[in-house]
Chain A
Amino acid sequence: SAAVRAAISRGNSLEALEKALSEPPYGRGMEAAQSANAQLVSEILMATRAQDIGSVVGDLSDDDQDVLLKYIYHGLAHPAEFNCGVLLSWHERVVESGGLGSVVRVMADRRTV
């Protein structure tokens, strides 16, 4: 996560996201790691400028887009801890790119984050 924060401070959201989204902590008993990682991803999402969201989403791989959407839904489920306005604007872009299929995959996948 040090590398991720370095990338955020440099303004390189794409690189930060790719690092944060790789190897998500799936599994039972991983709640602490999952919420820590979700906070990290949320930091990256809030640090990105609104006009850059589209290009960052477009440059992510399909797998990364699906994992990002899982984190977005994780955040939307805990509105007290996350900035839902930012999450919703990211959600719009990811669904534009991945379609309803990516939302279905978040719902269907047993590996939650």
Chain B
Amino acid sequence: MSILDEHNFPFCVTAHAFNRDKTQVAVCPNSNEVHIYTRSGAVWTAAHVLREHDLLVTSIDWAPQTNRIVTCSQDKNAYVWTFDAAGAAWKPTLVHLRLQRAATQARWSPQENKFAVASGDKCVAVCYFGEDNDWWVSKHLKRPIASTVLCVAWHPNNVLLACGGTDMKARVLSAYIKGVDEKPAATAWGERLPFNTLCGEFESPAGGWVHSIAFSPDGDSVAFVTHDSSLTVASPATGSVVSVRSNGLPFVTLVWPDTRTIVAAGHDCAPVVFTADGTSWRAAKRLGEDEMLRRSAAASPSNSNSAFNMFRQMDSRSQPAKSGSGDGSLKSVHQNTISEMHLDPAGNTAEVTTIGLDGKLVQWSLRA
């Protein structure tokens, strides 16, 4: 569990997405713009700025195979951006979302012919390209969602969609679009599922908003993190809903890289790796803290000003000198809430990337 790469942006990063080989990253600097950075050697340089939204961009997703970016924003719109090699710029295409409230998250489906946009309008808009009008059209998943949807995740079969939101329930619905999807094979969630069929509804024991949701790699289980500081994993095949309490602050994002590993991160500023433990899950390790210990240990012998700093800090903050990180920084790599975590777009199950409100973009390796 080492840090592969760490970059400091001079702004809070609220959304990010990598292209397939991680040579480019699209980030939202907590504004209505999307900045695309390219990697040259070990340095990220700003390449493009995508300016089309009027309000805060809430989510960015980059389709690895087709190289299209979908962005959605609080201005009730979403755009699909395609790269025009001739003009060397990203061209936006408006998506006909028909939302009355802000869009909260957008995710491409595994085959990249559809994407889902979660919104505050108590619905999820499933969008596909309508050839006759030459723009993206949407169908809304409404029943039985009762409140703002905060997160969506696609099942590997391109048809089932998991969503969770502020009504404190996580649901699995069918997003089958006639004409775009072929009839899917039967899964643990059911068979012959027309659009908007409810395949499962789950909640965590103490309730709380569902911040993030993900299917297992084989699609047979769904995991979600809620504001009551817990991770819940539901498997319809065995009928089990297992909830793992955490001692820290709530998680806001999670990924499920392989069948025995779930990684969650959030207000505690460090990703926590959960491993399968029989039928349940347990927190195995927190990423990055030994790396920070190594860094502070390396720094202190050569830090000849440490006594000066200690008394200066006691003076300015009226705090007694603390052992360890006396300058008020956290033990973890991220110094503020981790806002989003993604899997590697090329499918490498050993790597995840995180962004935080401290402006850091960190790429982690889950192998020791």
Interface residues of A (CB under 8 A from B): 62, 66, 98-102, 104-105, 108-111
Q: Which residues of B contact A105 (CB under 8 A)?
A: 206, 228-230, 245
**Chain B residues near A (Cβ < 8 Å):** 206-208, 226-230, 245-250
Determine if B248 and A100 form an interchain contact, defined as CB atoms under 8 angstroms apart: yes
Known contacts A62-B245, A109-B228; A104/B207 CB under 8 A: no
Q: Give the distance in Å from the alpha carbon of A109 to the alpha carbon of B250 in the complex.
A: 13
Summed over the interface, the residue pairs from A and B with CB atoms below 8 Å come to a total of: 46
Nearest Cβ on chain B to A109's Cβ, whole angstroms: 4
- The winner among B230, B245, B249 for most chain A CB atoms within 10 A is B245
In the bound complex, how far is the Cα of B245 from the Cα of A102, in angstroms? 8
**Residue of chain A at shortest CB distance from B227:** A108
One of A62, A100, A101, A109 near B207 (C-beta < 8 A): A109
> Do A104 and B245 have beta carbons less than 8 Å apart?
no
Within the complex, what minimum Cβ distance (angstroms) separates A46 from chain B?
27
Say whether chain A's binding surface is mostly helix, strand, loop, or mixed.
helix
User: What distance in Å separates the Cβ of A106 from its nearest Cβ neighbour in chain B?
Assistant: 9
Q: A108-B227, A108-B228, A109-B228 are in contact. Are A102 and B207 (CB under 8 A)?
A: no
User: Of A101, A108, A109, A111, which is within 8 A of B246 by CB?
Assistant: A101
Which residues in A have their C-beta under 8 angstroms from that of B248? 99-101
Do B208 and A108 touch across chains, with their CB atoms under 8 A apart?
yes
Top 9 closest pairs, chain A to chain B, by CB = A99-B247, A101-B229, A108-B208, A109-B206, A108-B228, A101-B247, A105-B206, A104-B229, A105-B228
- Are B249's CB and A101's CB within 8 A? yes
- A77–B334 Cα gap in the complex (Å)? 35
Q: A105-B228, A105-B229, A108-B228 are known contacts. Are A98 and B247 too (CB-CB below 8 A)?
A: yes
What separation, in Å, do the CA atoms of A62 and B226 have in the docked complex? 18
Q: Which of A98, A105, A111 has the most CB of B within 10 A?
A: A105
Min CB distance A1 to B, Å, is 26
Additional A-B contact list (18), CB under 8 Å, known A104-B249, A104-B250, A108-B226: A66-B206, A99-B247, A100-B247, A100-B249, A101-B248, A101-B249, A102-B229, A102-B247, A104-B228, A105-B228, A105-B245, A108-B206, A108-B208, A108-B228, A108-B229, A109-B207, A109-B228, A111-B207
